[in-house]
């Protein structure tokens, strides 16, 4: 069976730096950072008091995940101008579960005894009364993909991937795979993160994953944790090369099978994902890597080690940067916006700098893009997305060759 090619026909995003991908590009190229003090809720006593949120005026939707995704999808879909029978259009979205409102959660806590005791009877009564206030669609991971399918009339495969920080990249990988196999002709793919809230800041803080200094600086010697961000990034993939932006040529996905929250210290799973993507693309290397680069001490060091393992003596020739320095960590949406950065590199030759990176850690010796964007011809780029649970996804994107 001949493997079909996969072309990128459109792209879109809403980020903390812009309501569209087009508006975000210039600010990312200039090295701007969206990290700022949290003002949406009281962060007194929190382990981290900063984030990279999308302005509250966006979006106008009860489910913030869906609202963000709709804005990104609309930009991508409008750019693509694709046409295909409904049954041949698929939707693939990386998304985590939503949550009931903080007011509802607090009401349940008070009913249960305020955390000092647990009154089962009072909790049960309150839960029944409050259940009617919770929209089931806003707390289901699958709701975003299903809503997008309805909006775009997609009657092909609809899939939600909820595998933490690799979700968005895995959704793009699965959409590309479906087109290769002829399961669909068009796929709307990407990821969304909407996690700037008290529960996520408290949870990641308990894991000591957040920056206590309040700075996202991947690969920098001062890095001490990531900053939570939010946004959505989407692409339209097509089997038709007509007016394509670029082509996805390499897919790689592995599992560390090492630890729930820590990567394999030798970077084995990350290296194997990159190697698999390169083999799939039938390439020996790439010109640029959009790194996972979280700004945590262990993850950045392990990723740098894996890059050296894969590219060997050619590592000094490969540009590397991480968008998380500017936009924070979008969790389920992180891999999708990382892919857009790799896509922008082959599309326009613009390599975004790693915001916050001033003094590279000696354990992370790479050809970093720092301060401002670099503009060079890029034939092929690789995007990495790694996650809790040891999931690793790598994607190779190239200039489309019709």
The answer to whether 165 is a known catalytic residue is yes
d(CA 305, CA 292): 13
From the candidates 189, 217, 292, 341, give the one annotated as an active-site residue. 292
Provide DSSP, 33-54: ---EE--SS--TT-S--EEBPP
Of 398, 376, 402, whose CA–CA distance to 283 is shortest?
Answer: 398
- By the 8 A CB rule, do 233 and 168 touch? yes
User: For residue 324, what is the DSSP state?
Assistant: H
For residues 97 and 336, give the distance between their C-alpha atoms in angstroms, rounded to a whole number: 17
358 catalytically annotated? no
Q: Where are the alpha helices (DSSP H) in 136-283?
A: 143-152, 167-180, 198-206, 268-281
**Strand arrangement of the beta sheet that strand 380-386 belongs to:** 158-161, 89-94, 186-194, 230-238, 6-14, 246-255, 391-398, 380-386, 288-290, 319-321, 367-368
What are the structure tokens assigned to 377, written together? 């011809």
186 phi and psi angles, rounded to 5 deg: -135, 140
User: DSSP character for 142?
Assistant: T
Q: Which residues pair with 15 in a beta bridge?
A: 18
Which listed residue (165, 341, 364, 383) is catalytic?
A: 165
Catalytic residue from among 184, 217, 329, 368:
329
Residues 223 and 226: their CA atoms lie apart, in Å, by 8
Per the CB < 8 A criterion, the answer to whether 204 and 228 are in contact is yes
Q: Residue 368 has which token pair?
A: 């970093």
Residue 308 annotated as catalytic: no
For 177, other C-beta atoms within 10 Å of its C-beta total: 17
What does R_g of the chain's alpha carbons equal in angstroms?
Answer: 21
Between CA 61 and CA 170 the distance in angstroms is 26
47, exposed or middle or buried, with CB in 10 Å at 0-12, 13-18, 19+?
A: middle
- Paired tokens of 167: 């979700």
Q: Which residues are the active-site residues?
A: 165, 292, 329
């Amino acid at each position: 069976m001949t493997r079909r090619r996969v072309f990128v026909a459109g792209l879109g995003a809403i980020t903390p730096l812009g309501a569209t991908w087009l508006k975000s590009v210039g600010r990312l190229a200039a090295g701007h950072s969206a990290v700022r003090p949290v003002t949406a809720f009281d962060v007194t006593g929190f382990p981290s008091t900063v984030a990279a949120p999308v302005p509250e005026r966006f979006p106008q939707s009860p489910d913030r995940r869906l609202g963000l995704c709709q804005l990104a999808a609309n930009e991508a879909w409008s750019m693509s101008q694709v046409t295909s029978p409904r049954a041949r259009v698929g939707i693939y979205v990386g998304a985590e579960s939503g949550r009931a409102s903080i007011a509802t959660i607090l009401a349940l806590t008070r009913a249960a005894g305020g955390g000092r005791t647990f009154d089962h009877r009072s909790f049960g009564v309150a839960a029944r009364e409050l259940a009617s206030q919770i929209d089931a669609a806003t707390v289901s991971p699958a709701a975003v993909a299903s809503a997008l399918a309805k909006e775009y009339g997609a009657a092909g495969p609809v899939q939600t991937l909820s595998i933490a920080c690799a979700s968005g990249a895995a959704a793009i990988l699965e959409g590309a795979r479906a087109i290769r196999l002829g399961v669909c002709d068009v796929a709307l793919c990407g990821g969304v993160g909407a996690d700037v809230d008290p529960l996520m800041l408290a949870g990641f803080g308990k894991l000591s994953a957040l920056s206590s200094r309040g700075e996202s600086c991947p690969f920098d010697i001062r890095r001490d944790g990531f900053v939570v961000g939010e946004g959505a990034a989407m692409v339209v993939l097509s089997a038709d090369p007509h007016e394509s932006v670029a082509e996805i040529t390499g897919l790689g996905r592995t599992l560390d099978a090492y630890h729930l929250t820590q990567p394999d210290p030798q970077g084995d799973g990350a290296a194997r994902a990159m190697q698999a993507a390169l083999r799939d693309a039938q390439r020996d290397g790439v010109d640029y890597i959009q790194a996972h680069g979280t700004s945590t001490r262990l993850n950045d060091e392990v990723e740098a080690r894996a890059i050296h393992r894969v590219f060997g003596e050619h590592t000094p020739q490969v540009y590397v940067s991480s968008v998380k320095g500017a936009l924070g960590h979008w969790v389920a949406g992180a891999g999708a916006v990382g892919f857009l950065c790799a896509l922008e590199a082959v599309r326009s030759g613009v390599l975004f700098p790693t915001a916050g990176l001033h003094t590279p850690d000696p354990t992370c010796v790479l050809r970093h893009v720092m301060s401002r964007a670099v503009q060079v011809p890029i034939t092929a780029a690789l995007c990495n997305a790694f996650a809790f649970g040891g999931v690793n996804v790598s994607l190779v994107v190239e200039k489309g060759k019709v």
